[in-house]
A and B are shown apart, each in its own frame.
Chain A
């Protein structure tokens, strides 16, 4: 493939018209580059526009100003190289687990037999081989998330966008899922943008952590996480370097969180 960075946002701005008719700027003048095979975590205060950044990269939304490039090509519509794991459950409730994972290849015109084979392979890797005939409502939240991961990975995305994928899970499940994600990702060489509000999770997973400002979001600071791989989430947390990084990044992030909180208080008053 080309040597161009996997993702490149230059001066990207996104404005929405709110239902009341006012213009709301979600993302302002955002510059961000993600190298091929890199794992980037994006942290920022709640509701600052982190998710909007992902929808711009995915092609679900177009930027109002600026440019978004994927492998050097400007984004026009949804790129088949992109995979997206959503914050909320986005698996199809009327399809069985197997059929959910088959959906991507089937939508892309892969014959049913081959799609089934690939889906079974990924269900095996996320440890759900025994549950292929279940419906999503019969699974736990963590299992549904694993279905969503398999559903995304089965398309072999080279760019993986994740929007607080584990935020609805309990703490133990979240740690397990993070480890599983690192394992799945390790073999693929794909680039990941992982949006989260959990700094622990961001440092444990990523090569670089991008701190966003309070909304409208733009990049405030970028930190390189120089922790060795392969990592396991629970172990890496105990390393002195982790704690050091945490302190450094929190000094930057905490300020933005405070600004957001004060604004919220101002609006409530």
Chain B
């Protein structure tokens, strides 16, 4: 009898964990599906409620529009173009302005941030001025840029640059300041000169800080471009919003907003992808902590 029990146990042990891991996997898969389903349900419920309320005139469809009209508007823009030209062209303009402003702002912010973070003298001299500039609500500069640079893309790029520069600058500055002293000491002992310490220790160590600001700052670049266009432009999504508002077309305002949101999400996704590629050296769990 004892022999039998022993053989039964040995026969079962290898099978038991695999069936248990399977069950666990299945549970995890089910949970994921439930989450996705619940998300979709929330969206459907929200849009459905909005549509129903608008149709039954519980809310005024003239002010609040309704999902079906917004969709019609988007579809019309896609198929027939907008009053300002094709929809793709408007998106292209806005993206071009936001991206150029973002790139200029990021490059300037990173270079200056690291320079001031590394060179104490510069930080002491320029510190107060940068604080003063940062205290100005920068969105009010958009009308000034419009006067300086005209209705074209240049004025929008400028407003995007001033919005992007500061958060990137402060993060790069902080990152350069807070580099682990041991790493710098180690690099110097190993034979690195100042230039190498900056390029091969300070900049890689500061990239984590810089990247956190890149996410936020791309949103700022879009805001800069849109506000600039809204105030005065010949092309762009911000102009679509302004034009729709001018003709009391609330569906147009919402449609432009929807398109903006999609554009912002897509670029955000691209950034996250780039970040994953760049930060292979980081432990995986710290990435999930956000």
- List residues of chain A with CB under 8 Å of any chain B CB: 58, 60, 78, 80, 82-84, 86, 88-96, 103-104, 107-108, 135-137, 151-152, 155
Instruction: Assess the A58–B189 pair: CB atoms within 8 A.
Output: yes
In the complex, the answer to whether B281 meets A135 with C-beta atoms within 8 Å is yes
In the complex, what's the smallest C-beta–C-beta distance from B212 to chain A, in angstroms? Answer: 16
Stretch of B16-24, B31-39, B190-198 that contacts chain A: B190-198
Which bucket holds chain B's interface residue count? Answer: 20 to 34
Return the contact of A89 from the options B182, B193, B204 (Cβ within 8 A).
B182
Check if A90 sits within 8 Å of B186, measured CB to CB: yes
List A contacts of B128 (CB < 8 A). none
Q: Residue B246 at the A interface, CB < 8 A?
A: no
Contact A84 B281 (CB under 8 A): no
Chain B contacts for A103, CB-based, 8 A = 187, 190, 192, 200
Instruction: Looking at the assembled complex, report how far the CB atom of A29 sits from the nearest CB atom of chain B, in whole angstroms.
Output: 25
Task: Tell me whether chain B's interface is mostly helix, strand or loop, or mixed.
Answer: helix
Residue pair B182, A90 in contact (C-beta under 8 Å): yes
Q: Which of A58, A93, A94, A107 contacts B187 (CB 8 A)?
A: A107
B154-212, CB < 8 A from A? 180, 182-183, 185-193, 196, 200-201, 204-205, 207
Nearest Cβ distance between residue A98 and chain B, in whole angstroms? 13
Known: A88-B182, A90-B182, A92-B183. A135 touches B280 (CB 8 A): yes
Query: Measured between C-beta atoms, what is the minimum distance from B17 to chain A in Å?
Result: 26
Evaluate contact between A82 and B282: CB separation under 8 angstroms. Answer: no
- B283 interfacial contact with A, CB 8 Å: yes
Cross-chain contact A137 with B188 (CB below 8 angstroms): no
Contact status of A137 and B204, CB under 8 A, knowing A78-B189, A90-B183, A155-B190: no
B282 to chain A, nearest CB (A): 7
* A80/B191 in contact, CB under 8 A: yes
Q: Report the minimal beta-carbon distance from A119 to chain B, rounded to whole angstroms.
A: 12
User: A179 CA to B187 CA in the complex, in Å?
Assistant: 26
| Beta-carbon contacts under 8 Å, B195-233 to A | 196, 200-201, 204-205, 207
Residue from A83, A91, A92 in contact with B189 in the complex, judged by beta carbons closer than 8 Å: A83
Q: Which residues of A contact B187 (CB under 8 A)?
A: 92, 103, 107
A148's nearest neighbour on chain B, judged by CB, is B186
Contacts of B207 in A (CB 8 A): 94
Cα A90 to Cα B280 with chains together (Å): 19
| B191 touching A107, Cβ below 8 Å | yes
- Tell me the bound Cα distance from A148 to B147 in angstroms: 59
Q: List 28 A-B contacts (CB under 8 A).
A: A58-B189, A78-B189, A80-B191, A83-B189, A89-B182, A90-B182, A90-B183, A90-B185, A90-B186, A91-B186, A92-B186, A92-B187, A92-B200, A92-B201, A92-B204, A95-B281, A103-B187, A103-B192, A103-B200, A104-B190, A104-B191, A107-B193, A107-B196, A137-B281, A137-B282, A152-B190, A155-B190, A155-B191
Residues of chain A within 8 A of B200, CB atoms compared: 92, 103
Whether B204 contacts A151 by the Cβ 8 Å rule is: no
Please report the number of residue pairs spanning A and B whose Cβ atoms sit closer than 8 angstroms.
Answer: 63
Q: Which chain B residue lies CB-closest to A109?
A: B191
- Alpha-carbon gap, A103 to B188, bound state (A): 11
Q: Output the nearest chain A residue to B185 by Cβ-Cβ distance.
A: A60
B191→A84 contact, CB < 8 A: no
Bound Cα distance from A180 to B281, whole angstroms: 27
Is A107 within 8 A of B190, CB to CB? Answer: yes
CA distance A221 to B280 in the complex (A): 50
Taking the closest CB of chain A, its distance from the CB of B239, in whole angstroms, is 43
A96-B204 Cα distance, complex, nearest whole Å: 13
A88-B182, A94-B281 are known; give 10 further A-B pairs, CB within 8 A: A60-B185, A80-B191, A89-B182, A91-B186, A92-B187, A92-B201, A94-B207, A103-B192, A107-B190, A107-B192
Q: Cα distance A82–B191 when bound, in Å?
A: 10
Residues from 254 to 290 in B contacting A, C-beta threshold 8 Å: 280-283
Chain B nearest CB: distance from A93 CB in Å?
6
Residues of A near B191 (CB, < 8 A) are 78, 80, 104, 107-108, 155
| In the complex, chain B residues whose CB is within 8 Å of the CB of A91 | 186
What is the chain A residue whose CB lies nearest that of B279?
Answer: A94
User: Are A86 and B185 also in contact (CB < 8 A) when A92-B204, A94-B281, A135-B281 are?
Assistant: yes
Closest to A77 in B: B188
Which residues of B76-90 are within 8 A (CB) of A?
none
Q: A87–B152 Cα gap in the complex (Å)?
A: 58
**What's the least CB distance linking B126 to chain A, in Å?**
23
Report the separation of the CA atoms of residues A90 and B190 in the bound assembly, to the nearest whole angstrom: 11
A136 to B186, CA, bound (A): 15
Assess whether B201 is in contact with A82, with CB atoms less than 8 Å apart. no
Name, among B183, B189, B282, the residue most crowded by chain A CB atoms within 10 Å (CB to CB). Answer: B189
Q: How far is the CA of A84 from the CA of B183 in the complex (A)?
A: 12
Residue of A nearest to B282 (CB): A137
Residue of chain A at shortest CB distance from B196: A107
Q: Which residues of B contact A92 (CB under 8 A)?
A: 183, 186-187, 200-201, 204
Q: Please, how many angstroms separate the alpha-carbon atoms of A152 and B280 in the complex?
A: 25
- Shortest distance between the CB of B178 and any CB in chain A (Å): 14
